[in-house]
Structure 1
Amino acid sequence: MCGIAGFLSNRAENIPFPSIIRRMTDRIAHRGPDDAGAWADDENGIALGHRRLSILDLSSSGHQPMPSACGRYTAVYNGEIYNFRALKAEIEAVSTVTWRGHSDTEIMLAAVSLWGFEATLLKLNGMFAIALWDRQTRTLHLARDRFGEKPLYYTQKNGAFIFASELKAMQAHPSFTAEINRDALTLYLRHNYIPAPHTIWQGVFKLEPGCHLAVHADGTVEAPRPYWSFEQAALAGVAEPFVEGPHLIDELEQVLTRAVGLRMEADVPLGAFLSGGIDSSLIVALMQRQSARPVKTFTIGFSNKDFNEAEVAKAVAGHLKTEHHELYVTPDDALAIIPSLPQIWDEPFSDSSQIPTYLVSRMTRENVTVALSGDAGDELFGGYNRYFLADRIWRAIGWMPPRLRASVGHMLRAPMAGNAAQFINGLMPAARRHHAVRDRLPKLAEVLEANNHRQLYRHLVSHFSDPASLVLGGQEPKTLLDREPPDLGNPIHAMMYMDTLMYLPGDILTKVDRASMAVSLESRIPFLDPDVVDFAWRLPLSSKVRDGKGKHVLRELLYRHVPQAIIDRPKMGFGVPIDEWLRGPLLGWADDLLNADRLRKDGIFAVEPIVRMWEEHRTGKRRWHYQLWDILMFQAWYTHQTADNLTVSA
């Protein structure tokens, strides 16, 4: 795991290459504290920089930027190629190679020299962001792994093409200009993250997962193109599904065991995040089966029982006999890191589980350098509650004429409806009362206005239904959610497909990468092994979703290793009580950032709706904590940017 940066300039005679590239990589030293490297070709105007977190081949043989043995290529690379041993054997079978070390970077370069760049990308089982300079064609190639585990940003400004693992490195280049992308800001308010290819900065882009981009020495930038298609993989899977049966549990165990084993390869201490949920528990169980010693596992706990999974994690660890580490954090511990969030995430990001993710990463890094994670199990095996909720809702309302649904939705938005619902809810037995029933009615009204499953799903994943009305001068760009998904046989598969392409890379993988790399910890995700993904999409839906629950086949496999009584419990997620904090210890902080005069002076948001939400939330009239957290994280980020002496054009 590392950090990369570089640039290609058509004004090379005026560029101080060494100082600029070092300034860029210094900004991401947390991604690679073990080594730093820079390389430049003044004649062609290319500079590459690298920060190294040493995981495989800890010697100087793994130093980057690394030239190929043939001398044609020079590369910087962030990530891990898990099948590097198999690739090495394949190369040796057809070519005579004298290896300098045993790093996966050297093997990747040998593969490119033998088969070419795009052909090599298809052979890689790993997570990566690669920048490769081809001296022969005078072309810079960029590529990102299939699912977007590793980040890669790029822009072309003032005669320079600039790229890096994080935006802060790009901002250190003298040609970088900072202008807020108000259209991207509307997407942020809808999703709580900014989906690729957009970023918060005008003219700056994320390379989308599974894509390759070529830039030529004359400054010509080719349009990004996919070297691999998740859509084709998903369609191929549902076109030839497995036959339902208990044998699928055996086959999944074999595929997932191999994926876990590949990700246990490291020359440094290794462990795993353990929340006590199905996904992380299964990963740890398969790790322990392949380990000669107790696996080191890590979890954090909260005193608030609604958010505490540490007790279950401890029970799982006890059964599997891992070397378990847990840390109970106080609200003060969590609140103390909030000022650091804008610097860690680099652009507005408001999934509040970023806080516990950072805290567990920090604790884990005190003991190991690599940690395996259970992420992506929900997207691949149908684990999110919204899948079942959307299906139930559509079965209930799909028969209604659109005009009738719209009329009911209009009535639900009326203040009288909220008062009546609150009154009826109060008459219910305590065990059956719905928390904040008044807040649910506007969301239900939006749901009733959906004309199909896709629109219903869009409502369920949206924080704001009309974010452009809040961003002055902003227009919401079209995304995958505005297009009909491919025919995958059923609406739940369609939602899983959209989550894998948007929510997984935009939220989950971004959260894990930034939180872990902020403390120089490498995270690895076995569920994103290509063989596991292909297997998951060939499973019939009944193997994933059964009796109103997701991840059926994962549950059955886990029960082989951990007693069902330990595992079966309501899903809590991995969050923090933002609702309570905004009325308590974060009240003053939020008051300052949501001040009407401040909002007016900034000229970015429509002031009145935000002030009204804040007043309703702080007085307990309504619960707007998710929406307010979006605004607050932007405000905190914007404050950090201007305080960092960056001239921001809003």
Structure 2
Amino acid sequence: MCGISVRISLGPSNSSDVPKPPGVEAIKGQLDKSLDLIAHRGPDSKGIWVTDDGSVGLGHCRLSIEDLSDAGNQPLHSEDGGVHAVINGEIYDHERIRNELEQNHRYHFQSHSDSEVVLALYAVYGAPAFLDHLRGEFSLVIYDQRQGRIIATRDRFGIKPLFWTIIGENNERVLLFATEMKTFLGMGWKPKWDVQSAFQTGWNIDDRSLFKGVKNLMPGYWMEVALPEGQLRRHLYWDSDYNDKRQVETRTVEEMIEGVREKLIEAIRLRLQADVPVGIYLSGGIDSSLIAGIVAKLVREENATLGSKKGQITCFSIEFPNSPLDEFDIAKRTADWLGVDIVKCKVDEAALAEHFENSIYHCEYQTFDLGPTGKTMLSSIPRDAGFKVVLTGEGSDEHFAGYHFTSWDFLLEPDLSWPASTLTQDTKRLNQMQQAAVELLGRQTAALGVKGEKFRWNEACWGYHQVNRVNMPNTILSMSGATFPMWAPWVVEKWSGLDLRETVIRAMPPAAREKILNQWHPLHTSLYITTKTLLSNQLLVSLGDRTEMAHSIEARPPFLDHNLVEYVNRLPPSLKLRYTSDLDSNTDQQEQEPQLIEKWILREAGKSFIPEEIYNRKKQPYLAPVKWPQNGPLHQMFQRLCTKEAIENLGFVDWAPVERALQHAFGPKGDQGLFRLLVCVACWVVLSQRFGVEKATEAEWADSPLYDPWCDI
């Protein structure tokens, strides 16, 4: 993984004169400064290239994983000098692609870096066809000097970030691309709050960020920039899809289980390839345990190596001492069962207080939980142990229906693709279980302390039917702090009439909305929305790329291999969430909770690789503790950060609820909801101070239409 910074001079917005960019040396200086701000992403080398006229500048800092020699440094250039690129990420199966291009297209490679196959594929197939051949996680920018165009793109799930913005006015319009927003500070960017995005949770739902005018290129899309006029166009090259809910499945259960097993093993095998050691993040859940179990099998039965490391497998795990949320003990038992090493990262209150601000600076978003701080600390452990790469379990819950809140949506309709299911035949039982799921979700949400102001949603709202009545928009908003009552009065007055769930619905591509309405089962609608919002914009940021790359760690998620996902998406809903009565006729039908086994087909596919304890264990989400003592390290940290002056300097937050949270969020009777509110606001304070963000005012939002993610960019 690496960091990129790109500067492109665009045509003037209201003048016929072509703007004259700063001198080449000045641009190189800007790029150099911007790369220094993300040196953690690429500590091994730094490269800068600028056209003779200064119109295009490419910067890259490298974390060397494949081909550790200088030949793998970037920017990359084609043999004829007409195409230039900066690439962040990892391309799997690159040896096969390399051999194919050499033999069939006589392409001459200059290195053994996986990144160079991107340049080669573009040379052979052009855009967007070259994207069909890329398997992995990536963000990249290509400058085709011959055709006068820029190609920018991002992987299918948003594992690797790519932000863009336009700065300057009139004759000084400059387009910037970067893997982290802080990079823009080195290019003269002056950040302002996007208050509408913060209030609507646009940063977690669509392509907005917390900063005005800064967008992320959505996963599965590519952007084309025509030079010199600077016209920008966005195109979809890949999207998740599911079978029609009325299509009856003809494959046997055994065939589908074996299909999942084969594709998961292949995805993991590919991700063991590296020229540096590869480790594994191991929690107490099935996802990381299954990865560790399959790796152990590959090492022992096929003599596979973990990158450049042979022999013993090393796992890394986190411990929250004396907390009911701690999973280290079960992770240790799994490691012992597999016969692998496990290294512990102990995260106590003092450590969380010490690392909170730095973790938020790296994440660049707010969170409502201290989990990202714990994950940032965990990522320092493999680096200290000599590892640059780890395998991780992100993406499994979003495709195998692992979250507890998916049962609500699964039970909205019978699964017509699986007629043998009891719930397909017994609609009365289906409706009873759906009501039980509704009640259970309410209890679970309250237990997390994320309850807040209720949404205004009823069947008259157009969006309710547009998403087949699924509850996922509610869940996403509650999981991102959208309902916390901390907004300044002018914000509430301006936007309180909005039904925030329409933000979720409008973020879905029009083609997907049509399938949601007419083709997909509600469970698949739920999983699709989660993948497009919560996964790409929050989980892969605060528990993924940004917290891992803070310590120069490349994390590889096998469950987000698109070949595996395409197979899993076509499986019947009833094999992802399995009704226990279909497995055991003695199941008590009067249970107060829906009797569903989450990720059932994954459990069956991985049964031989994991301990029975893991096979039978229900999912426990990764969350940091929220109960902390009064006047302890965390309470003192929040008191230091969330002063009245700091809150008022934000411009969009009311001081009174923050003051109340400081008084009532700690101690034996501490309010979990107020603690999460405090975490969210403290994140804004950290970003305000670290980025130098200008105070938001009501006046600048006087004439602000609702954001449309599908407007012409």
Local SS of the residue matching 1:55: coil
Inter-CA distance 588–238: structure 2 relative to 1 (3 Å threshold): farther
Q: What does 1:400-419 correspond to in 2, within 5 Å?
A: none
Give 1:639's aligned residue. Answer: 689
Question: In 2, Cα distance between the equivalents of 1:44 and 1:63?
Answer: 22
Residue among 142, 157, 165 paired with 1:132? 142
Q: Give CA deviations for 1:576-601 in whole Å, capped at 9, x if unaligned.
A: 11232677432233234444454345
Pair 1:364-2:382 in alignment: yes
Local SS of the residue matching 1:150: coil
Q: Give CA deviations for 1:266-310 in whole Å, capped at 9, x if unaligned.
A: 000111101021011111111122223232111121212412111
Question: In 2, Cα distance between the equivalents of 1:448 and 1:397?
Answer: 26
Q: TM-score, normalising length from structure 1?
A: 0.86
Question: In 1, Cα distance between the equivalents of 2:637 and 2:59?
Answer: 38
Contact 1:196 1:205 in 2 (8 A): no
Q: What does 1:385-424 correspond to in 2, within 5 Å?
A: 385-389=404-408
Q: Give CA deviations for 1:582-628 in whole Å, capped at 9, x if unaligned.
A: 77432233234444454345422134444445545358474312233
Give 2:532's aligned residue. Answer: 501
Pair 1:522-2:536 in alignment: no
Amino acid at match of 1:62: G
Question: In 2, Cα distance between the equivalents of 1:635 and 1:154?
Answer: 23
Give 2:346's aligned residue. Answer: 328
Give 1:379's aligned residue. Answer: 398
Contact 2:47 2:60 in 1 (8 A): yes
Residue among 281, 284, 298 paired with 1:290? 298
Residue among 252, 261, 274 paired with 1:253? 261
Residue among 581, 603, 606 paired with 2:654? 606
Pair 1:627-2:677 in alignment: yes
Question: In 1, Cα distance between the equivalents of 2:89 and 2:56?
Answer: 22
Contact 2:476 2:530 in 1 (8 A): no
Amino acid at match of 1:380: H
Question: In 2, Cα distance between the equivalents of 1:202 and 1:41?
Answer: 29
Question: In 2, Cα distance between the equivalents of 1:197 and 1:441?
Answer: 24
Inter-CA distance 205–238: structure 2 relative to 1 (3 Å threshold): farther
Contact 1:153 1:165 in 2 (8 A): yes
Pair 1:3-2:13 in alignment: no
Inter-CA distance 63–352: structure 2 relative to 1 (3 Å threshold): same
Question: In 1, Cα distance between the equivalents of 2:206 and 2:608?
Answer: 39
Residue among 179, 183, 186 paired with 2:199? 186
Question: In 1, Cα distance between the equivalents of 2:281 and 2:268?
Answer: 13
Question: In 1, Cα distance between the equivalents of 2:250 and 2:322?
Answer: 43
Q: What does 1:44-123 correspond to in 2, within 5 Å?
A: 45-123=55-133
Contact 1:31 1:53 in 2 (8 A): yes
Inter-CA distance 391–257: structure 2 relative to 1 (3 Å threshold): closer
Pair 1:164-2:212 in alignment: no
Contact 1:369 1:522 in 2 (8 A): yes
Contact 1:244 1:540 in 2 (8 A): no
Amino acid at match of 1:491: P
Local SS of the residue matching 1:243: coil
Question: In 1, Cα distance between the equivalents of 2:650 and 2:276?
Answer: 47
Q: What does 1:431-580 correspond to in 2, within 5 Å?
A: 454=469, 456-463=471-478, 464=481, 470-471=487-488, 472-473=490-491, 475=495, 479-482=503-506, 485-511=516-542, 512-547=544-579, 548-580=596-628
Question: In 2, Cα distance between the equivalents of 1:28 and 1:272?
Answer: 24
Q: Give CA deviations for 1:454-481 in whole Å, capped at 9, x if unaligned.
A: 4633223323565798254464785333
Question: In 1, Cα distance between the equivalents of 2:683 and 2:396?
Answer: 27
Question: In 2, Cα distance between the equivalents of 1:346 and 1:76?
Answer: 22
Q: Give CA deviations for 1:466-507 in whole Å, capped at 9, x if unaligned.
A: 579825446478533356535454322211111111111111
Inter-CA distance 572–111: structure 2 relative to 1 (3 Å threshold): same
Give 1:265's aligned residue. Answer: 273
Question: In 2, Cα distance between the equivalents of 1:107 and 1:3?
Answer: 18
Inter-CA distance 582–87: structure 2 relative to 1 (3 Å threshold): farther
Question: In 1, Cα distance between the equivalents of 2:363 and 2:453?
Answer: 32
Contact 2:267 2:558 in 1 (8 A): yes
Inter-CA distance 489–206: structure 2 relative to 1 (3 Å threshold): closer
Question: In 1, Cα distance between the equivalents of 2:619 and 2:134?
Answer: 34
Aligned length: 611
Give 2:419's aligned residue. Answer: none
Local SS of the residue matching 1:578: coil
Local SS of the residue matching 1:588: helix
Amino acid at match of 2:5: A
Question: In 2, Cα distance between the equivalents of 1:491 and 1:497?
Answer: 10
Question: In 2, Cα distance between the equivalents of 1:290 and 1:364?
Answer: 21
Q: Quick check: 536-545 or 233-242, which moved more?
A: 233-242
Contact 1:276 1:567 in 2 (8 A): no
Pair 1:35-2:23 in alignment: no
Cα RMSD (Å): 3.3
How far the C-alpha of 1:399 sits from its partner, in A, is 8.8
Question: In 1, Cα distance between the equivalents of 2:149 and 2:451?
Answer: 53
Give 1:314's aligned residue. Answer: 332
Give 1:354's aligned residue. Answer: 372
Contact 1:126 1:145 in 2 (8 A): yes
Q: Quick check: 78-87 or 7-16, which moved more?
A: 7-16
How far the C-alpha of 1:531 sits from its partner, in A, is 1.1
How far the C-alpha of 1:92 sits from its partner, in A, is 2.5
Question: In 1, Cα distance between the equivalents of 2:597 and 2:456?
Answer: 22
Structure 2, unaligned stretches of length 5 or more? 11-18, 304-310, 414-426, 580-595, 698-713
Inter-CA distance 320–397: structure 2 relative to 1 (3 Å threshold): closer
Question: In 2, Cα distance between the equivalents of 1:396 and 1:497?
Answer: 27
Give 2:22's aligned residue. Answer: 14
Inter-CA distance 240–63: structure 2 relative to 1 (3 Å threshold): farther
Local SS of the residue matching 1:461: helix
Local SS of the residue matching 2:211: coil
Question: In 2, Cα distance between the equivalents of 1:89 and 1:236?
Answer: 38
Give 1:424's aligned residue. Answer: none
Contact 1:271 1:297 in 2 (8 A): yes
Amino acid at match of 1:263: R
How far the C-alpha of 1:439 sits from its partner, in A, is 9.2
Amino acid at match of 2:672: R
Contact 2:191 2:691 in 1 (8 A): no
Contact 2:283 2:327 in 1 (8 A): yes
Inter-CA distance 266–381: structure 2 relative to 1 (3 Å threshold): same
Inter-CA distance 604–110: structure 2 relative to 1 (3 Å threshold): same
Amino acid at match of 1:172: G
Q: Quick check: 246-255 or 522-531, which moved more?
A: 246-255
Q: Quick check: 482-491 or 61-70, which moved more?
A: 482-491
Question: In 2, Cα distance between the equivalents of 1:236 and 1:59?
Answer: 49
Question: In 1, Cα distance between the equivalents of 2:541 and 2:450?
Answer: 31
Question: In 1, Cα distance between the equivalents of 2:471 and 2:263?
Answer: 34
Percent identity (aligned): 26
